[in-house]
């Protein structure tokens, strides 16, 4: 690849194409891709990389204490928790569409953080942005913000 193409790909922020240029050309030659097939493949790969980068950026900005997911939540240790109802809420995502908050209440070690992070990760994987905040931080920060005059 020449310097002019490299500069243009950097300007267009096509990092995936820049990083895998030779691989894509070799793949196209090996599989006899048509021009249209090659362009489609390049667009799909760049889209996939940008989606993955955006998802990783949203996760970094969310300030998650741990990247827990619902698939690993120990429901057997929380027999009072209605797994079917919780999973229906998780799978439907209605709380996102309806702009509703979820507040987890319970004693120490009952899984509030695990549930909160898993719901937040699920939302971020669907393209939403969010941030993990403990109630104490939220309550303390309300009186300390100053409004511009």
- Summarised one tens digit per residue, pLDDT across range 74-110 is 888 888 888 999 999 999 988 888 888 888 888 888 8
DSSP 93: -
Q: Are residues 20 and 82 in the same domain?
A: no
Is pLDDT at 149 greater than 70 in this prediction?
no
Q: Which domain covers residue 95, as residue numbers?
A: 70-141
- Summarised one tens digit per residue, pLDDT across range 25-81 is 899 999 999 988 888 888 898 899 989 999 999 989 999 988 888 998 888 888 888
Q: Is residue 148 part of a domain?
A: no
Q: Are residues 11 and 48 in the same domain?
A: yes
Residue 117, exposed/middle/buried by CB under 10 A (0-12, 13-18, 19+)?
buried
Q: Are residues 40 and 99 in the same domain?
A: no
Q: Is residue 102 part of a domain?
A: yes
**Measured distance CA(147)–CA(92) in Å, rounded:** 37
pTM confidence score: 0.67
């Amino acid at each position: 690849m020449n310097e002019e193409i490299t500069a243009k790909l950097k300007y267009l922020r096509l990092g995936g194409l820049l990083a895998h240029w030779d691989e894509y050309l070799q793949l196209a030659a090996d599989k006899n891709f048509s021009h249209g097939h090659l362009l489609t493949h390049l667009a799909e790969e760049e889209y996939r990389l940008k989606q993955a980068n955006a998802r990783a950026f949203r996760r970094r900005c969310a300030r998650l204490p741990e990247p827990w997911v619902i698939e690993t939540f120990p429901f057997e240790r929380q027999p009072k928790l209605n797994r079917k109802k919780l999973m229906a809420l998780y799978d439907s995502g209605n709380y996102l569409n309806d702009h509703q908050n979820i507040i987890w209440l319970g004693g120490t070690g009952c899984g509030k953080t695990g549930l909160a992070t898993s719901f937040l990760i699920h939302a971020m994987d669907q393209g939403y942005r969010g941030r993990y905040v403990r109630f104490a931080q939220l309550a303390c920060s309300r009186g300390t913000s100053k409004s511009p005059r």
